[in-house]
Amino acid sequence: LPMMFVRSYRTKDMLRRRCQDCYVIWRYGRMYIECPKFARHKTVSKMTKEKGWGWFDWRLAPKLERTK
Q: Where are the domains of the chain?
A: 14-45
- In this prediction, residue 44 carries a pLDDT of 92
- In this prediction, residue 61 carries a pLDDT of 56
- In this prediction, residue 1 carries a pLDDT of 47
pTM above 0.75, yes or no: no
- In this prediction, residue 27 carries a pLDDT of 87
CB count within 10 Å of CB 47 equals 12
Hey, which bits of the chain come out as E strands? 10-12, 23-27, 30-34, 43-45
Tens digits of pLDDT across the chain (68 residues): 455 666 688 988 889 999 999 999 998 888 999 999 998 999 999 876 554 555 555 555 555 555 55
